[in-house]
Amino acid sequence: MIQMIKSPIANPIMWKQKHLLSGMVVTLGAVSLIISNLEMIASMLTKVFQIAPWESMGGALLIFGLRLTDVPIGTLKTVLMVRGVRTWATLLGLLEVTIWITAMGRVMGHLDNPWNIAGYALGYSVGTWLGMWIENRLAFGSVEVHTISLTKSTQVAEAIRAAGYGVTQFQGIGASGPVCIVGTIAERKHLDGLLKNIHEVDPGAFITVDDTRKVIGGHRTGK
């Protein structure tokens, strides 16, 4: 008779307990290491504050904040320029360059302060990430979505129409022969929901998404 033996590794409760215990051991080890080196850490912090007095750090933080503001504004300005939104792109450009000149002036006026340069560079880096995150959350504009399903193109088109989008179907020739291409226009903020609808019908569908600069005329933007 074959007897099933449970492996302790496969037991999720024991697995969690083991990792919790490991985490506690690592945490206690880190705390004890810090406590045993408090004097050395205090000495290092004292040297840092001596090298970088609060006045210098305050200027660096201000420059960091300025760059953290103007770089995302520049990102949004570029997106609006590409999409042909002239008025807002112009206003954002004016604001961007005003903030940038202020930050650059503070750096150029104190080139002997490395903290200002570090604040400028770090603000630019973090501002780039922040600008991309904000643009992705705002999801300006529309996209053109083309779907190729070898076996369920009709069902895909029906699902997209049911979600409130206009659909255009046209024939194409692929490597395996004739295929039906399902095309639609959607606002970027609705893209994730649209892709989810398509994957529910055909998880293996081939999908391309292209940015659309401008949409004129009759189309439905989805529910």
Summarize pLDDT for 147-163 with one digit per residue, the tens. 988 888 888 889 889 88
The confidence band for 34, taking pLDDT boundaries of 50, 70 and 90, is: low
How far, in Å, CA of 183 to CA of 77, rounded? 29
Residue 135 confidence (pLDDT)? 83
H/E run at residue 147: strand 142-148
Taking 50 as the threshold, does the pLDDT of residue 7 lie above it?
Answer: no
Angle at the Cα of 157 from the Cα atoms of 151 and 160, rounded to 5 degrees:
130
Q: How many CA atoms lie less than 13 Å away from 196 in the CB half-sphere?
A: 5
Q: What is the mean pLDDT of the chain?
A: 78
Note the residue count of the chain: 223
Residue 165 confidence (pLDDT)? 87
- Cβ atoms 131, 74 nearer than 8 A: yes
**Fold (topology level) of 142-212:** Alpha-Beta Plaits (3.30.70)
Where are the chain's structural domains? 47-138, 142-212
Residues 6+ positions from 181 with CB-CB distance below 8 Å: 146, 147, 148, 153, 169, 170, 171, 172
**Helix runs in 83-209, H state only:** 86-108, 114-138, 153-162, 191-201
